[in-house]
Amino acid sequence: MFKEFRDFAMRGNVMDLAVAVIIGGAFGKIIASLVNDILMPLIGLILGGLNFSDLSVPVGDATLAYGMFIQAIVDFVIVAFVIFMLVRTMNSMKKQPAPADPTTKECQYCFSTVPIKATRCPHCTSQL
């Protein structure tokens, strides 16, 4: 059972997933810093010195910090856009598969489809 688990854990997909999770966590911290330390202060400055993290509404004894929610939405939009751009770039760099060799051809007399190796059309019996 241990050998089977080791084989499972060492397969390429599991290791790729582990690396992706680690890099994703680090990438998330970078984006959070970009949003919190650079973009949100600029957006707040444009909006007249508004600090989104301070926006809140008291409801009884609780406080609804909707500014933090707005900040989380901005984080998500930026992360989604960056991931979209990365995937788009990676897809454009992918090699396109070579077109497959044709397996059929068209009869020049009756225009029906026949196998590529045929020497006589099965529909009109003409020599190909």
Q: What is the pLDDT of residue 38?
A: 85
**pLDDT for res 12:** 66
Q: What per-residue confidence (pLDDT) applies to 78?
A: 80
| Residue numbers of the chain with a pLDDT score lower than 50 | none
In this prediction the pTM is 0.52
Q: How far is CA 36 from CA 10, 32, 123, in A?
A: 38, 6, 72
Tens digit of pLDDT for each residue in 75-91? 788 878 878 888 899 88
Identify the pLDDT of residue 119: 87
Per-residue pLDDT, 72: 82
Q: In which residue are the tokens 């019996």 written?
A: 125
Q: Where are the alpha helices (DSSP H) in the chain?
A: 2-9, 12-33, 40-46, 66-93
